[in-house]
Structure 1
Amino acid sequence: MDSNVVLHAEGMNKIYPGTKALDNVSYDVMKGKVNVLIGENGAGKSTLMKLIAGIEQPSSGKMYMADEEVSFKDTTEARDRGIGIIHQELSLFPNLNVYQNVFMGREQMQGIKLDNKKHISETERVLEKLEHVMDPNTLVGDLRVGQQQMIEIARNFLQDDLKILIMDEPTSSLSEQEVEVLFKLMREFTDAGIAIVYISHRLEEIMQIGDNVTILRDGKYVARAEVKDINVPWIVEKMVGQDKNYPKKDRQLDWEKQEKVLEVKNLTLPKKGGGYLLDNVSFDLKKGEILGIYGLMGAGRTEIFECIMGLRPEHTGEISKNGKLMNVKNINEQIKNGFALVPEDRQGEGLVQTMSIKKNISLSSLENYTKGGVLQGKLEDENVDKQIKDIMIKVADKDLPILSLSGGNQQKVVIGKGILTNPEILLLDEPSRGIDIGAKTEVFDIINQYAERGLSIMVVSSELKEIVAIADRVIVLSNGIKTGEFRHEEITEDGLVLASYKGHSTHKEVKED
């Protein structure tokens, strides 16, 4: 084996009931390099990484390290050989604090007791290195998704004798500044001879940090190249067979005639310890409109949705629907009032992983299929089948487990679950997080279709190109304050970025109707 190859996978196959996730894939992990692995959802990327990290075992195929054949029954055996993994879906314990999560499975002992003093000091050290200082005693369940992502990363930065670090969508919830810090540390790792396997759907990141790129499609190897020899169109063409873009809006709303379905006035949400997560935020939403919400992490985007859905009863301000002031109580009442939420964390908040695809889709609307307290299975099946067809969920059997679907199709299930409640207003929090270009295009096409049918939609997105492409109007938040509002041709990347930094007043504001 080439001395520059730290791990060689030969003819890897992985078969699940009804699908072949990996089909005779061979793969080399190069020492001291950022080895990018890319492909659409369902291409087999995460499956291959799970085999390398010992999370699952191959149906057939072999792996070699230093001319020795290796196989791992579990992640502990893989870790003993110097392989760590940062998962796409967070694998943290929300009921434990930060340092307990960081040292889970690698606890340090002082005699017969846990050495929590060392746990805390080492956690502080690695978080400081990640430029993400926080109290190690904070409960992980109290952290935002982006902060939890940094805890997931910190866990692996403490591993001794690390040879390969697998990073599956590590930046999906990070700000640009946090990404820069992570990239700097990744280069420190590669300079020390550690190999990084990097999976991301952000193509610009790949060109910035990657050394080589391997493309998978439909579970098969497609191509491999050095980053210096390729460009983004080459990657996209190899991934999907054609260059895909987000669907562009070709409609103009009549702002004067379009009726308001939602009006929010002076929405204020206090912050623990003082200050505000939202500070007198006001906006409205028109029928059939796609309203984008943009801002940096911590700007208050998700908190707006949580207030509207009754998840933040401590908020103040007015929320009116169709001209009628609402007494927002809880999420069940808000679903009945015509609201549906697609949360940012689809695994933790959007799906029940032990249930089937069908049950996940129908979960929020089950009372529509009951009569006399008895579930009408036939009616449930009819509505689920219609929703699967309507939003093009790729599924062989709706009774399969939800985790048998790719990330993009899982996201469609969460969207379909919300739509089945027959909402007037659909709230989408990072609907394209962690899904590939093809799935993103399909998700945004679904959003456009439902807006055309008259559904009013609010979309939170961290990706500028997405929100510019999809939104009829965008409001911008910075530190809980509304700092800008833009319509149609006024929606530009430069304008949104400028408005997202508090203190800049040169952006163009639009007077509210």
Structure 2
Amino acid sequence: MTQPVLELVGVTVEYPGMLALDGVDIALFPGEVHALLGENGAGKSTVINVLNGVRPIASGEILLDGEPVTLANPAASRAAGIATVFQDIHLSGNLTVAENVMLGHEPRGRFGIDWGATRGAAAEVLSRLGLEDLDLRTRLNALSPSTQQLVAVARAMVGRPRVLLLDEPTSSLAPADVALLFKVLRRLRDDGMAIVFVSHFLEQVFAISDRVTVLRDGRVVAEREADTIDRVELISLMLGRSVDALREIGSERRAHRQDPEGDPVLLAEGLGRSGVFARTDLALYRGEIVGFIGLRGSGRTELARLLAGVTPTSQGTLTIDGRRVRVDSPASGLRHRVVLSAQDRTVDGIIAEMTVADNVVLSLQAMRGWRSRVSRRERAEIVTWARELFGLEQLSPETPAGLLSGGQQQKILLARLLATRPRVLILDEPTRGVDIGSKVAIQRRVAAMVDQGMAVVFISSEFSEVLRLADRIIVLKDRDKVGEISNGPGVTVQTVVEMIASAAEDD
């Protein structure tokens, strides 16, 4: 076999209070797409950060062409022939394609940047990738997300790197766009480049990868040729347990499902806001999960934000536990113990600079007010409870939340909300971007809370996930409620799709 161009040998990386990588060995070969797989928190992004020169190693070594090399910073990584394309495209929307491709590498003449030479160099790079049809003078923000991703790849190719690191490059791309990106990646692979591909999408992994390495808890648990491993085995390796856990949750929910009794804990009558969501009637009962289902733009998030007070209502009334109330801010929602886990946890949820412990107690402290501080003893008890609740005992309470994986952050956010003992818990995309293991843990905890009498609103773009958990389903279209059904054995994704289609025909 050809000698690896780049290797991690016994690499260990330490975060405060935890090992992010524990003696990891990974070899990257020229002319190969190597997929890194694992749950959130398994160590995939840490491997990328080590190779990108962002994260120092505590022990082990990195070999370039068999010789030890120190990747002390991103500049050292680039000098070693390593380029990185991240999930969030780090480009400038107001610059042209040529300017973005050559940014920082523009040819210069006597009077500054030689723009003709810059466009010529950009055209050469794009041509090598088979993207010669791209208009060099088009501003980036006028292009589709997929084309912007290809421009990011082209920019990474300017220095003619030998290794390309791709961290979730397809997370926001449509299938046709993914196919275009993969066409470019195969061209690079066939030219001898070593490519690292990190993705949650297993079908894409099998479509593009030659080799896979599975990480779990910071360790390598398997390395295989991609065509010698099947999906079930791969998922089991990632989880360390059977994928049947998700099916078990659905079976348990169906077994405990019962019609709501008594008065609703939350009753919305004619609730809405002009231009945000049509006037709507909605009742939530203790001990049930109500799913919101609709296509993108249907108003799922808008209705959730109205119920929680994040968006003030201008129409209708809201009654909680038999008392008419006004919920017109997150603070008032919290005061009435109606809490929302927003769909973008990095913007509206986790405070990255704060510790795990401070994030967990944040909502409880806000509910009490800053004059009634959570004591050190209570803080320690709540944090211990939260870590045990979600199996996060290995995390130090003083670890900055920004260092956690997406799944770990979502668990911390959910623990924060549960610490307030909510009447109504509204979860907007709580499992988006998390691994299967975290999805199982979150869904199990939600089911347990409902069994204890909480009312839950569950929103997910995955219709099957809503059907697995929900007792009732609210169907939304064009920011309006178009139907409501009681979940049961005869209700399928097709049932919901047909209801949405029927509503469209009636318009």
| Equivalent position of 2:2 in the other structure | 2
Q: Measure the CA separation in 2 of the matches of 1:347 and 1:114.
A: 40
Distance 1:205 1:461, change over 3 A: farther
The separation in 2 between residues aligned to 1:228 and 1:403, in whole angstroms, is: 36
Q: Name the CA shift for 1:310/1:353 in 2 (closer, same or farther; >3 Å).
A: same
Measured after TM superposition, the shift of residue 51 of structure 1 is: 0.8
Show the counterpart of 1:381. 380
Residues in 2 aligned to 1:450 and 1:476: alpha-carbon distance in whole angstroms:
23
Letter of the 2:103 partner, please give it.
R
**Contact 2:343/2:430 (<8 A) preserved:** yes
The worse-fitting range, judged by mean Cα deviation, of 56-65 and 44-53 is 56-65
* C-alpha distance in structure 2 between counterparts of 1:300 and 1:32, whole Å: 46
Matched, 1:393 2:392: yes
| Deviation per residue, 1:47-97 (Å, 9 max, x gap) | 111111221122233334455654322223334555343446x5879xx96
Provide the rounded CA distance (Å) in 1 between the counterparts of 2:86 and 2:50.
Answer: 13
Find the counterpart in structure 1 of residue 17 from structure 2.
18
Distance 1:461 1:231, change over 3 A: same
More displaced 10-residue stretch of structure 1: 283-292 or 383-392: 383-392
Secondary structure at the counterpart of residue 432 of structure 2: coil
Kindly tell me the number of residue pairs found equivalent between the two proteins: 474
Q: Is 1:9–1:64's contact at 8 Å kept on the other side of the alignment?
A: yes
Kindly indicate whether residue 256 of structure 2 is the aligned counterpart of residue 251 of structure 1.
yes
- Matched residues in 1 for 2:394 and 2:139: separation? 42
Kindly report the root-mean-square deviation, in angstroms, between the aligned alpha carbons of the 2 structures.
4.0
Structure 2 SS opposite 1:192:
helix
- Match of 1:288? 287
For 1:493, the equivalent position in structure 2 comes to 493
- The answer to whether the aligner puts 1:59 opposite 2:58 as a matched pair is yes
Distance 1:408 1:189, change over 3 A: same
Q: Contact between 1:64 and 1:70, CA under 8 Å: does it hold in 2?
A: yes
Matched residue of 1:439: which SS? helix
Instruction: Tell me by how many angstroms 1:420 deviates.
Output: 1.7
Contact 1:37-1:197 within 8 A present in 2 as well: yes
2:221 maps to what in 1? Answer: 222
1:9 is displaced (CA, Å) by 2.7
Could you tell me how far apart the structure 2 residues matched to 1:18 and 1:305 are? Answer: 36
Asked if the contact 1:318/1:326 (under 8 Å) is kept, the reply is no
Provide the residue aligned with 1:187 in structure 2: 183
What are the superposed Cα offsets for residues 21-65 of structure 1, whole Å, 9 maximum, x if unpaired? Answer: 222222133445442211223322221111112211222333344
* Identity fraction in percent: 27
Task: Provide the C-alpha distance between the structure 1 equivalents of 2:309 and 2:61, rounded to a whole number of angstroms.
Answer: 52
What residue in structure 2 maps to residue 332 of structure 1?
331
**2:45 aligned partner:** 46
Q: Distance in 1 between matches of 2:368 and 2:287?
A: 27
Cα deviations by residue, 1:86-134 (Å, 9 ceiling, x for unpaired)? 446x5879xx96659995993577966999xx99xx9xx99x98xxx99
**Aligned match of 1:158:** 155
1:136 is paired with a residue whose SS is: helix
Structure 1 pair 78–484 and aligned structure 2 pair: CA distance change class (3 A): farther
Stretches of structure 2 lacking an aligned partner (at least 5 in a row): none
Q: Note the C-alpha offset of 1:363.
A: 0.9
For structure 1, which segment, 469-478 or 318-327, has the greater mean C-alpha deviation from structure 2 after superposition? 318-327
Change (3 A) 1:461 1:467: same
CA distance in 2, matches of 1:149, 1:184: 8
Residue from 317, 320, 324 that aligns with 2:318: 320
Instruction: Decide whether the 8 Å contact of 1:294 with 1:500 is kept in 2.
Output: no
CA separation of 1:181 and 1:403: change in aligned 2, threshold 3 A:
same
TM-score by length of 2: 0.79
Q: Which deviations, in whole Å up to 9, do the C-alpha atoms of 1:352-402 show, x marking residues without a partner?
A: 222211111111111566795555322333333333333443344323332
Distance 2:369 2:480 in 1: 44
Given that 2:21 and 2:219 are in contact with CA atoms closer than 8 Å, whether structure 1 keeps it comes out as: yes
**Alignment-derived partner of residue 106 in structure 1:** 103
**What SS does structure 2 have at the residue aligned with 1:421?**
coil
Q: Per the alignment, in what secondary structure is the counterpart of residue 174 of structure 2?
A: helix
Distance change >3 Å, CA 491–CA 84, structure 1 → 2: farther
TM-score normalized by the length of structure 1: 0.78
Distance 1:463 1:212, change over 3 A: farther
2:74 corresponds in structure 1 to 75
Q: Which has the larger radius of gyration?
A: 2
1:158 alignment partner, SS class: helix
> What is the one-letter code of the residue matched to 2:264?
E
Cα deviation, residue 340, structure 1: 1.1
Mapped to 2, the partners of 1:377 and 1:92 lie a distance apart of: 41
Instruction: Identify which of 258, 263, 272 aligns with 1:267.
Output: 272
1:164-191 CA-partner distances (Å, limit 9, x unpaired)? 443334455x3xx724412431232222
Runs (5+) with no aligned partner, structure 1: 139-146, 271-276, 507-513
Paired AA for residue 177 in structure 2: V
